[in-house]
Homo-oligomer: A and B are copies of this chain.
Amino acid sequence: MLDAKSLFNAHLKYVVPKLEDEEFDEVYEHFKIVKRKKGDFLAQVGGPMLFDYWVVEGCIKAYFINRKGNEYIVQFAIEDWWVSDYNAFFNKIPSTYFIECLEDCTLLAITLEDREKVCKNHHKMEYFWRYKLTNGYIAVQKRILTLLKDSAEVRYKKFIENYSKLLQRLPRKYIASYLGMSRETLSRLHRPSRSRGEEE
C-alpha cells in the first residue's frame, strides 16, 4: 500500500530540504486523504472548488466543453502533481471546468483556509507554494507561446520531451486535444517513419 505521508514528505522536502519532521507533521494534519474512482469528478462546471489536490496515485484531466460539444483540455495531473481550478479555488467562485479522474485516484486535499493558515504559520511552506506557483506560471506561459508559435510537430516533440510519462498513460485523443491539434495530425506525427521538418 502507498504511504501517502512519506511520499508527500519527500515531495515537500525536494523544495524545502530544511523542513523539520515536527513542522511536516503540523503541515500534514491539514490535509485529508481522499479516494476517488475512475470517472469521478473533483470539480464540475458551476460547482464549488473546495480543495487543492495533490495526486498520490492516479491520473486526472481538467477540461471544459464548449457549446458545440468540443472538449478542450486545460491540464493533466499524475502522481506528484497538484490540480485544482485555481480561479474558483482562490476566489471562491463556481468552477469553470471539469476535473475528472481517468483512473482510480488517491489524493491529498486541503481547503483554502487551511492552505493559507499553513502558509502563515510556516514561512517554509509559503516559500514552497511560491516556488510551485513560479514553475506553474512559467509552464503555462510556455504553453501559450507554443500554442501561438510552434508547428504541430514541434508542439508534439516538446510534449514528448517534457511529459513522456503522460504519453504512455493517456488516450491519444486527449493528447491531441491538449496540444490543440486533430487526432489525425497527431497520428501522422506519431508514426516514427515520417519525414522530419514538415510543418502544419
Please measure, in the bound complex, the distance between the C-alpha atom of A64 and the C-alpha atom of B50, giving whole angstroms. 38
Q: Which residues of chain B are within 8 angstroms of A123 by Cβ–Cβ distance?
A: 123, 126
| Chain A contact residue count (CB 8 A cutoff) | 32
Asked if A2 CB lies within 8 Å of chain B CBs, one says: no
**Chief secondary structure at chain A's binding surface:** helix
A140's contact among B96, B97, B144, B149, by CB below 8 Å, is which?
Answer: B144
Residues of chain B within 8 A of A64, CB atoms compared: 145, 149
Could you say which residues of chain B place their CB within 8 Å of the CB of A87?
138, 141-142
* Interface pick from A128-136, A155-163, A183-191: A128-136
Chain A residues near B (Cβ < 8 Å): 64, 66, 72, 74, 86-87, 90-91, 96-97, 119-120, 123, 126-127, 129-130, 133-134, 136-138, 140-145, 147-149, 180
Pairs A-B, 7 closest by C-beta atoms = A133-B133, A130-B130, A126-B126, A140-B140, A123-B123, A72-B148, A87-B138
